Amino acid sequence: MNQSNSKNNKQKVQQSKQTKSQQIKPQQTKPQQNTKEQTTKKIKLESQVTNSNNTIKKDNQEKPKRQQNNEKVTEAQLQKDKNEIVNDGDNELTEITDIQVSIEDIMKKEMKAKVELDVQFYNSLKPLVQEREKLFSNIPNFWFTVFKNHHIISNLLSGKDEDLLKNLNNFNIEMNNQGNVKFLFNFKPNNIIKNKQIWKEYIFSDDDIEATVSKLEWKNGMDITIRKDGSEPSFFSWFSSEDTELEIFTILKNELYLFPLDYFQNE
């Protein structure tokens, strides 16, 4: 009986060991499966890191090229903008130039009309001027007094200029149809200048002014236009110069010629 029980106990122990052994095997294989999955994940992670690094490296390599291309695009756009600005500026300048040309054309027409009126005006004065000159000739030193009393001309006269002006018979102006103006001084015989008449003519064109003068012939080396040490400048240098300044021109034409009596009477 005891032997039978002992045998049964041994069988139970063996069965119990087998059962435990079977239970342990699954527990040992499971960690092996986890390790494989971890390895796979690690490989994938490393692959992702590698791809990411490659992408970053490629991007860093291509970045200068993109910057260079962007710079080229920017430079091209700037140049295009500059060209457009220049073209726009050129177009505006062209339009402004056309307008200015039109303005100048109107001014030229206006000036031409004024010259025509001026010529008509001075030509209409001729009969009256001739009568006036006859009366002036009876007044001693008439023209000398007229020039001497003008506030600007008087400052241009030297002592020798005054001596010559005392021999001035008459002062006249001629205008032709083009508007050129000729100033004439007529002298009575004297011991300073040989010329009976001296003149200076202003010739006007659309774009310029020229002047021509008569040759002055002096007696006994009496050229009063030559300045010596400390000598005063001469008013008559204006008659020997082709300078086209308009101050004396305007005074003679618009003041002394038209209103000599006012200056003679110092009014």
Asked whether the predicted pLDDT for residue 49 surpasses 60, the reply is: no
Secondary structure letter of residue 218 according to DSSP = B
Of 126, 155, 175, which closes a domain? 126
Query: Does 151 lie in the same domain as 209?
Result: yes
Residue 17 domain flag: no
- Checking if the pLDDT of 158 tops 90, the result is yes
Give yes or no for residue 26 having a pLDDT over 50.
no
| 141 and 252 belong to one structural domain | yes
Q: Please report how many Cα atoms fall inside a 13 Å half-sphere around the Cα of residue 42, on the Cβ side.
A: 6
Residue 43 confidence (pLDDT) = 60
Q: Could you say which of 70, 105, 126 is where a domain stops?
A: 126
Query: Residues 113, 153: one domain?
Result: no
Q: Determine, yes or no, domain membership for 80.
A: yes
Give the bridge partners for 200, in sequence order: 183, 213
Q: pLDDT tens digits for 63-85?
A: 666 666 666 667 777 777 667 66
Alpha helices in the chain (DSSP H): 2-136, 142-149, 159-165, 237-240, 247-251, 260-264
Hey, what are 37's tokens? 């999955």
Residue 3's pLDDT is 47
H or E segment at 196? none
For residues 183 and 256, what is the distance between their CA atoms, to the nearest angstrom?
12
* 139, containing H or E segment: none
Task: Tell me which of 32-46, 104-118, 155-169, 247-261 is least confident.
Answer: 32-46
| 2, pLDDT greater than 50 | no
Range of the domain at 171: 137-264
Task: State how far the Cα of 139 lies from the Cα of 153, in Å rounded to an integer.
Answer: 21
pLDDT of 179 above 80? yes
- Whether residue 81 sits in one domain with residue 159: no
Percent of the chain beyond pLDDT 70? 70
Residue 4, in any domain of the structure: no
pLDDT at residue 76 in the model: 72
C-alpha 69/C-alpha 46 separation (Å) is: 34
Distance CA 243, CA 220 (A): 27
Q: Please state, in angstroms and rounded to a whole number, the distance separating the CA atoms of residues 257 and 263.
A: 10
CB 165 within 8 A of CB 181: no
Residues 168, 224 within the same domain? yes
Q: Is residue 3 part of a domain?
A: no
Mapping DSSP to helix (H, G, I), strand (E, B) and coil, where does residue 212 land? strand
1 or 136: whose pLDDT is higher? Answer: 136
pLDDT-based confidence at residue 29 (cuts at 50, 70, 90): very low
Let me know whether 85 and 113 are in one domain: yes
Residue 248 CB contacts under 8 Å (≥ 6 apart), including other chains: 153, 156, 238
How confident is the model at residue 207, as a pLDDT? 81
For 228, other C-beta atoms within 10 Å of its C-beta total 6
pLDDT of residue 221: 87
Count the alpha carbons within 13 Å of 106 in the hemisphere toward its beta carbon: 5
Hey, what are 168's tokens?
A: 């001035």
Same domain? For 110 and 153 the reply is: no
Instruction: Give pLDDT, residue 61.
Output: 62
CA–CA gap between residue 225 and residue 223 (Å, rounded): 6
- Is residue 14 a part of any domain in this protein? no
Establish if 131 belongs to a structural domain.
no
Give me the pLDDT at residue 67, please: 63
Same structural domain for residues 147 and 251? Answer: yes
pLDDT score at 210: 96
**Average pLDDT across the chain, whole number:** 81
Whether 75 is in a domain gets the answer: yes
More confident residue, 61 or 3: 61
**pTM higher than 0.85 for the full model?**
no
Q: Which amino acid would we find at residue 51?
A: N
| Pair 122, 222 in one domain | no
One-letter identity of residue 179: G
- Our count of domains for the chain comes to 2
- Read off the pLDDT of each residue in 223-234 and give the average, rounded to a whole number: 86
**Shared-domain flag, residues 144 and 114:** no
Give the mean pLDDT of 148-168.
Answer: 96
Of 56-60, 120-124, 192-196, the one with minimum mean pLDDT is 56-60
In the predicted model, is pLDDT for residue 203 greater than 50? yes
Residue where one domain finishes, among candidates 107, 126, 145: 126
What is the CATH number for 177? 3.30.1120.90
Q: What integer pLDDT is reported at residue 245 of this predicted model?
A: 92
Residue ranges of alpha helices (H) inside 137-236 are: 142-149, 159-165
What does the pLDDT average to over 27-53?
57
> Is the domain of 151 the same as that of 252?
yes
Q: Where are the beta strands (DSSP E) in 205-263?
A: 209-213
Point out the least confidently predicted range of 52-66, 120-134, 219-233.
52-66
- Based on the fold, state whether residues 198 and 106 are members of the same structural domain: no
Residue 51 included in any domain = no
97-124 mean pLDDT: 89
